[in-house]
Amino acid sequence: MAAIRIEKRKPCGTVRRVWRAEVLGFDEWGDWFSVPDGAGVLLLPVADPWAAWFRHDGSVRVDIATEVIAAAPVSSFVDLDLDVVRDADGAVRALDRDDFVHRSPSYPSAWVDLAWEAWEDVQHDIARFTEPFGTAADRWLERAPRPVARRLSA
């Protein structure tokens, strides 16, 4: 598998987080990557304004984003603060609304509109297991390393 660098950027352009990911492949939803430490897989979609992490335990976390650029050797996206999580038990939570409201006056208005719409759409789709939030990640998770159990010393 080929490795690439993934950058999660702030709206001002600075890098918030960087990690190395293994390219798993591409399908109708976008580019799929194995993320470090057996955390699961990352989907950088073809045309949607978000990035999604699918975990082996069935949970999903979605960062609402813009400017998702999936291109080797560096793929990146701009995180717009809003997040949606579906826990392993199926409970859906919308996160960081207050952070977004606080920071959004400094964002371009097109980003703000896009973020609110995407946040609503993702909440709807993730709660109903609408693809790619249904079984689309399953085949990619099969290829990704699982988390390593760590023993606590006595």
What is the pTM for the complete model shown? 0.89
Q: How many domains are there within the chain? A: 1
Question: Which of these, 50, 26, 15, 53, lies nearest to 37 by C-alpha position?
Answer: 53
Q: Is 65 helix (H, G, I), strand (E, B) or coil?
A: strand
pLDDT tens for residues 123-150? 999 999 999 999 999 999 998 887 665 5
Q: Which domain holds residue 70?
A: 3-136
> What residues are paired with 8 via a beta bridge?
17, 77
Which CATH number does the domain housing residue 67 bear? 2.40.380.10
Distance CA 151, CA 55 (A): 21
Question: Which of these, 21, 40, 42, lies nearest to 31 by C-alpha position?
Answer: 42
145 found inside a domain: no
pLDDT tens for residues 70-106? 777 888 999 998 999 999 999 999 999 999 999 999 9
The neighbour count for residue 105, using CB atoms within 10 Å, is: 8
Distance CA 55, CA 45 (A): 17
63 found inside a domain: yes
Distance CA 128, CA 80 (A): 23
Could you give the percent of the chain with pLDDT greater than 90? 68
Q: Which amino acid is at 30?
A: G
144 found inside a domain: no
